[in-house]
Amino acid sequence: MNPPLPQHYFGNATEGVVVCLKAKELLEQGHGYVAWEINKIIAMHTDEKFIDMLESWTRNPKVSSLGSHVSNALILSGSLWVDLYGNDFGWGRPIVFELVLLTN
C-alpha cells in the first residue's frame, strides 16, 4: 500500500465487495465474464479508497454477518498475496487454516 499501514497496525485490512449478476448473464456469458466483473471491482480499489474505508470503519465500526446477504448468494474469498501458512505473529506458524461458515 502507498502509504503503508502504520508500523504498529495489528489486524485485518480487508474489505468485502459485491458483484451482482443475473443467472441469465452467468449462463450466457460464462465464468470468464464473472471473473472480469470481479476484476473490475478489485481494480477500483485504490490505496486512497482503502485508507478512507479503514478510517471510516474506525469512526463507525460494524461487523457484517452473512445473514444480511440474500439467500441465493455465492460468496468467494481468497488472496494471492496472503501466505496463510507462512504468517507468524509470535505464536508460531499456523498448522491449519480453515474458513468456518455458521448460518441459522
| Whether 88 is catalytic | yes
Residue 24 lies in a domain: yes
Residue 102 lies in a domain: no
Dig out the grid coordinates for 101 from the structure: 461458515
Domain of residue 33: give its range. 1-79
Residue 44 lies in a domain: yes
Residue 67 lies in a domain: yes
Q: What is the pLDDT of residue 29?
A: 92
List pLDDT tens digits, range 64-86.
Answer: 665 555 666 666 666 666 777 77
Residue 28 lies in a domain: yes
99 has a pLDDT exceeding 70: no
Residue with cell 468485502: 16
List pLDDT tens digits, range 10-49.
Answer: 666 666 777 888 889 889 998 888 888 888 888 887 888 8
When pLDDT is cut at 50, 70 and 90, the band that residue 93 belongs to is: confident
Residue with cell 457484517: 64
The active-site residue, picked from 47, 52, 83, 88, is 88
- The total domain count for the chain is 1
Residue 86 lies in a domain: no
